[in-house]
Amino acid sequence: MLPAKSWRPNYVSSITRRRFLVGTASGAGGLALIACGGNSQKQVMAVDPSGVRTPGNVIYERDAWKLADETKTAIQGGIYRGHSTEDMLELMDPHLAGQGAGDEFTDQGYEFLVVDNVGPGLDPSSPETLNMKPHLAESYEVANDALSYTFTLRPGVRFQPIAPVNGRAMDIDDWRTTMDYMMGVGSNAAVWNEVVEKVEYPDSRHMVIRMKEPYAPFLVRLQDYNFAPKITPRELNAKPDLMATTMIGTGFRILDKIQPSIGWELRKFDDYWQGKPFIDRWHIAVIPEAANRHAQFGSKHITSFSPAGRDVLAVRNDFPEALLVGGEVNRDVANRCLFGKTEAATSPWRDPRVRIALHKLMDWDALLELDTNRSALRTAGIEVEATFQTHVPEKAIYFLDPRKNELGEASKNYFYDVAEAKQLMTAAGFADGIDLNYVWRSENNATRTHIDQLKVSGMVRVTEEKVTQADYSTRIVYAAQHKGIVTSAVSGSAPDVDYLIFRNFHSKGPAATYTDPQLDAIIDASRREMDPVRRAEHIKDFQRYVAKTFNTLPGAHRFGAWRFEWPWLHNVNQAYTSRAHKHLSHLTWLDTEMPNRNGGA
């Protein structure tokens, strides 16, 4: 057995990091060397956060790893005040969640076997971050043939002190019953069982997962809520009805209460296995109206506030002393518009020329400018981070850029061109245009602009179909059981491109409408290839193929959203367990200057 290594999409890539726009010079006095470790012996200069996270500064999440560890100066106590735009309607059962039904909410109580290797001083482009970090597993190994993975149970991990579990230690029966439940009735059972042959438990501390064949992204996807299990106690695994209403995990936050239209509260878990959290409580208020969120932030009743991109400069004038934080573009996901399976074989878009034409009728570049207000922000000295959307995320190791003609003649298919779209429609036999059913869940700027541009082209007669969140998640995005196309949607928080290309393009994918054997073979080859460089070549072959067939439509370009934040948070770059609040961990702490630090909600 050899130490397990994961296939990470940024392997051997060179990531250029822009310097902080402000603050680094003022923090120079507190610099210290941080050794990243590993074979590279890479060293970076740790930046004193007090010179960066200061009132009025513009900072970027992508640079947070450069900030020095603030654990030694941490101060206990305080209430973190966050907010949500809607009620918590997600499921508490992490095995029946997924696809928007409890993806992030259950992260607040439950944990995975492994997590990303991130934290202060760890450059995301360095080899040290390529290996997944053991979490509830103390260690793991992979066989030379990549057909089995052995995980060692971490001793001393306790569940939260809630009946009927009552704070007992995690054991191998929790792992066994979790796996049995997830593999039997869990929402991820099909995708998991597609690659996993069986799970064995040779003794009280080890679990062996045996694969049907090598599966390159297996380790990376062990922290993917659309694939892998979160560990749940055997008491809940035996009583699904109880798991549906009670969250009892190993995480550092304990769910205290949920109040419809008001919010939810969590408290610290003093016996958390990685150490007692510094923050005492987390209060998340439901504030659906943007104006109210603006007012609550101005009154310092909530910690952060995210305006629309076009409103950033105006809000900065309102709160010049707040931090302006540029969110990092998630390069593990892609926006796409899915074709539904209903009447797919007889619809006009069964012809790839019609699918390409539909994409060329939408000016996604113009929408990016509108949504981000990029030109005005650039004039103000603030750069917007954005990526160009094709059929895959913009990852350096495999991305082929149409702007550089890297897809050859097919590169032009990704660009807005109404005249050429009409020519394609005519060539396909639809000179008078087509009727198109357009499904959407919530009306936002992207949805309305997309619909309007299709209509104004004169080539598409749009019928709109509004659906509920539950219908959208389970029937449409998960299974493509709809007619026409569904509005531009993200491909989930999956940490590997396989989630996207298998689900939406492979004949065994649950939401794949247009497939063929040649495409299946390309995808299968990418799944089996364990060498990251050779695997990247298969993913390039995939791009070359779908650039001509457009089995799905690429959606809106992705960009880093902005948020305003009061500079009360410390240790924002520690490892995290919640994608919903990724800057929070048990090591995050609150400044003593925070107003009403220990008061009510």
Token pair belonging to 1: 């057995």
Rounded Cα–Cα distance for residues 269 and 273 (Å): 9
What residues contact 184, with CB distance under 8 A and at least 6 apart? none
Q: Do residues 20 and 48 make contact, with C-beta atoms less than 8 angstroms apart?
A: no
CA distance readout (Å), 440 to 340, 354, 447, 484: 13, 21, 7, 11
Rounded Cα–Cα distance for residues 565 and 409 (Å): 45
CA distance readout (Å), 598 to 55, 332, 565, 590: 22, 38, 19, 10
Rounded Cα–Cα distance for residues 592 and 380 (Å): 32
3-state secondary structure of 407: coil
- The pLDDT score that the predictor gives to residue 30 is 28
- The pLDDT score that the predictor gives to residue 440 is 93
Rounded Cα–Cα distance for residues 120 and 70 (Å): 9
Domain spanning 335-554, CATH architecture: Roll (3.10)
- The pLDDT score that the predictor gives to residue 491 is 74
R_g of the chain computed on alpha carbons: 24
- What are the strands, taking DSSP E only, across 288-415? 304-305, 323-326, 335-337
Q: Could you tell me the residue ranges of all domains in the chain?
A: 2-326+563-590, 335-554
- The pLDDT score that the predictor gives to residue 528 is 94
Which residue type, as a one-letter code, is found at position 298? G
The CATH code for residues 2-326+563-590 is 3.40.190.10
What residues contact 211, with CB distance under 8 A and at least 6 apart? 146, 147, 148, 149, 195, 196, 197, 218
Longest Cα–Cα distance in the chain: 70
Rounded Cα–Cα distance for residues 332 and 513 (Å): 22
Neighbours of 274 (CB within 10 A): 15
What residues contact 558, with CB distance under 8 A and at least 6 apart? 329, 330, 333, 334, 335, 386, 387, 389, 394
pLDDT in tens, 535-562: 999 999 999 999 999 999 999 999 999 9
Token pair belonging to 599: 């008061």
Q: Do residues 282 and 253 make contact, with C-beta atoms less than 8 angstroms apart?
A: yes
The crossing angle, in degrees rounded to 10, of helices 445-456 and 364-372 is 150
pLDDT in tens, 43-85: 456 899 988 999 999 999 989 999 999 999 999 999 999 999 8
State the 10-residue block means of pLDDT for the chain, 601 residues long.
43 30 27 30 69 93 92 97 85 73 75 91 82 95 96 98 98 98 92 95 98 95 90 97 94 94 95 97 95 97 93 96 92 92 98 98 95 93 94 94 98 98 98 97 87 96 91 86 90 81 94 97 96 94 98 95 95 69 83 88 45
Rounded Cα–Cα distance for residues 503 and 483 (Å): 18
Q: State phi, psi for 217 to the nearest 5 degrees.
A: -90, 20
DSSP tag of 499: H
2-326+563-590 and 335-554, same CATH topology:
no
